[in-house]
Structure 1
Amino acid sequence: MSADERRVTISAIADAAGVSVPTVSRVLNGRADVSAATRERVEQLLRDRGYRRRNSRAPGRAQVLDVVFDELDSPWAVELIRGVADVAHAAGAGTVVSAVHQDDTATRQWLRNLRTRTCDGVVFVLSQVAAPVQIQLRRLHIPVVVIDPAGGSASEVATVGATNWAGGLSATEHLLSLGHRRIGLIAGPRGLSCSRARLDGYRAALAAAGIGTDPALIVQGDFRHESGYTGGGRLLDLAEPPTAVFATSDQMALGVYEAARRRGLRVPADLSVTGFDDLPEARWSSPPLTTVRQPLAEMGGLAAHTVLRLARGEALQAPRVELATELKVRDSTAPVATSRTPRSNR
């Protein structure tokens, strides 16, 4: 650190702004009890003079990363945390994991806690990062990276995602290559861009094969087992059911397994099933699940690497990155059966 950088202190900022040191401290901590004009003047000085908090044990290296989820009850979350933690550990940084449960009160509590401790960067895995949260973090000079954004993040926020459209396309093309023409789809939450992209990939593959999209073959899910079971049941109970189902998450695909089993259908002899994610349980299901591998650990690792770079003040060449998906063909898909007779329906 240069001598000029060492002289950028709260006291120097306060003198330049014509305010007290406690006022600068309140601005740094995102407190609301500062006038808008004073806040703007102090924040501009902090940016212009390159002020950074003195909370690093080693110059140029972040200490603690926060990873914030809506929920933590999914193996999908575990894979992302593993990727973040591996990169953070290698960089000598710690990791704090929180869940805010899509709740404004929990989010405000997390922000209050954040102001009382060291945090050098935040990795968000949220369906939506509210604008007030982004504003607070900018005021605290804490860099942010969003994994799999829903589309509502500020344009300057760095993001890490996957090629969801290409994944949806490849899963559907695989089923088409096996002779399936009635292919059901269980979609993810409507508000997520990844859900829309997987659905669009499915539609594009059907269109390329000269097959129109049948609305009856598309049901809504939420990426969880239960919605796969319910949605799979709805598809299989149609007067003309699909011969294959593309569930846009592995958990929903395994829910389809159960819906098929309860109707006396065998996977893949009577029904082919594909998933999306390639969670560890996909390889150990019976039969092993054909799925689109979403590189979750790699996405978490890249998000951690990116936020560490931002914490060091480095510029990003590509603030929005998508990692490639890959179709993993296993035993849950097979050529379309010439006939299918359910053995029971209970």
Structure 2
Amino acid sequence: MPDNPRRATLATVAASAGVSVATVSKVLNGRSDVAPATRSLVESLLREHEYVPATPRREPCGSVELQFDDDLNAYSTEIVQGAVQAGAEIGVGIVVSINKDPGHSTAWVRDLIAAGRTALIAVTCEQLADQQVAALARARLPLVLIDPLNLQSASVTSVGSTNFAGGLAATRHLLSLGHRRIAYVGGPATAACNQARLHGYRAALEAEGAPVIPGYVWSGQFRYHDGLLGGAAVLDLPTAPTAIFAGCDEVALGVMEAARARGLRIPEDVSVVGYDDTQVARMASPPLTTVRQPLREMGGMALRTALRLAAGERIDSRHVELATELIVRGSTAPVPG
């Protein structure tokens, strides 16, 4: 990451406090030989200046933080597996954490550095705040986002997948089975990955001359409960869909349960397609047709990219998309009747 020329230094804080650089250093290191009033003043100025110790360029070693901002699920587990496996091959430790509230950006980054992290890989349900990204940049602590819900500034590195192509493939598969009443139950309406899958869905329908029926697009979160709600909403319409494309596998399982609660059989009465190809897709009954998002490969690539940034190497692209693939299983069938 590029240096920020306005980054506060120990000398900056010392000058503001009217003390020596050594005194500021003692406060940072928790030394006891500093007067309480002086300590309080220096700590206040450290926060005011948003001081974060600059970290030198590192060789690929040490540990990398893989941080989530929500509870782990089948999707998260795949990413962890990929990152841990790549770390074992390279000889780098992976520390997995859940941080739903990073609090003050500077203190959050300072804690990462104090723990000896080489880089941060973040999987977030929300967009990182600009202050958090800026604090990481000032500290020269590399950041890589995995499958970001929203692409941030061009300077933020991310690893994702071809979501538009995935949405296109899922919908084309249903169209090939004769379905024309196809609903989409997806994630957050403003999320970039959800928008790309939805655009792929719409593009496939438009190319076939099939309409997007009013009420057939439903947005929630990428969670099982939202699949229950979204599935109920579209299946209770006066003209119910014969097929549903879900924004992720967990949502797809909720949709399937909503269909069963209405006496509908899968795939005889309604076909369902998921997205991600996590373990739950293979364990579903019937096994779920889904778009495989290469989550393990994404975890491994994110780790290797983070280590390249930490070593001061240049990377060819700030955003990498890995290919998706349609996996056909038992949850889809030709249109009924």
TM-score between the two structures when normalised by the length of structure 2 = 0.83
Q: How does 1:91-130 map to 2 (within 5 A)?
A: 91-101=90-100, 103=101, 105=103, 110-126=108-124, 127-130=126-129
The SS at the match of 2:189 is: coil
Residue 65 of structure 1 contacts residue 121 of structure 1 at CA under 8 Å; is this kept in 2? yes
Which residues of structure 2 form unaligned runs of 5+?
1-8, 30-42
CA RMSD between the two structures: 2.9
Residue 62 of structure 1 contacts residue 312 of structure 1 at CA under 8 Å; is this kept in 2? no
CA deviation digits over 1:85-124, x for unaligned, max 9? 11122222111122222x3538776435224220110001
Deviation, 1:77, is: 0.7
Alignment pair present for 1:162 and 2:161 = yes
Cα distance in 2 for partners of 1:134, 1:25 equals 25
Aligned to 1:52: 56
Cα distance in 2 for partners of 1:257, 1:219 equals 15
Query: Are residues 35 and 99 of structure 1, via their aligned partners in 2, closer, same or farther at CA, if it must alter by over 3 Å?
Result: closer
User: How many residues were matched structurally?
Assistant: 309
CA deviation digits over 1:192-225, x for unaligned, max 9? 2101111111011011011222231111221111
Cα distance in 1 for partners of 2:206, 2:143 equals 38
Query: Are residues 22 and 246 of structure 1, via their aligned partners in 2, closer, same or farther at CA, if it must alter by over 3 Å?
Result: farther
CA deviation digits over 1:251-305, x for unaligned, max 9? 1111111111111111000110000000011112111100000000100100001
Residue 100 of structure 1 contacts residue 106 of structure 1 at CA under 8 Å; is this kept in 2? no
Deviation, 1:175, is: 0.3
Residue 164 of structure 1 contacts residue 325 of structure 1 at CA under 8 Å; is this kept in 2? yes
Cα distance in 1 for partners of 2:138, 2:329 equals 49
Between 272-281 and 64-73, report the one with greater CA deviation.
Answer: 64-73
Deviation, 1:24, is: 9.2
Residue 137 of structure 1 contacts residue 143 of structure 1 at CA under 8 Å; is this kept in 2? yes
Cα distance in 1 for partners of 2:106, 2:50 equals 23
Cα distance in 2 for partners of 1:25, 1:323 equals 45
Residue 105 of structure 2 contacts residue 135 of structure 2 at CA under 8 Å; is this kept in 1? no
Residue 10 of structure 2 contacts residue 25 of structure 2 at CA under 8 Å; is this kept in 1? no
Q: How does 1:65-84 map to 2 (within 5 A)?
A: 65-84=64-83
Alignment pair present for 1:147 and 2:159 = no
Query: Are residues 333 and 308 of structure 1, via their aligned partners in 2, closer, same or farther at CA, if it must alter by over 3 Å?
Result: same
The SS at the match of 2:45 is: coil
Aligned to 2:194: 195
The SS at the match of 2:275 is: strand
Give the counterpart letter for 2:272 in structure 1. Answer: V
Aligned to 2:206: 207
Aligned to 1:259: 258
Aligned to 1:7: none
Cα distance in 1 for partners of 2:65, 2:50 equals 29
* Dislocated runs of 4+, deviation >6 Å: 23-26, 35-39, 106-109
Residue 131 of structure 1 contacts residue 154 of structure 1 at CA under 8 Å; is this kept in 2? no
Q: How does 1:311-326 map to 2 (within 5 A)?
A: 311-326=310-325
The SS at the match of 1:105 is: coil
Cα distance in 2 for partners of 1:230, 1:305 equals 39
Aligned to 1:344: none
Give the counterpart letter for 1:75 in structure 2. Answer: A
Aligned to 2:45: 33
The SS at the match of 1:120 is: strand
Give the counterpart letter for 1:125 in structure 2. Answer: V
The SS at the match of 1:175 is: helix
Query: Are residues 79 and 105 of structure 1, via their aligned partners in 2, closer, same or farther at CA, if it must alter by over 3 Å?
Result: same
Aligned to 2:230: 231
Give the counterpart letter for 2:98 in structure 1. Answer: A
Query: Are residues 142 and 112 of structure 1, via their aligned partners in 2, closer, same or farther at CA, if it must alter by over 3 Å?
Result: closer
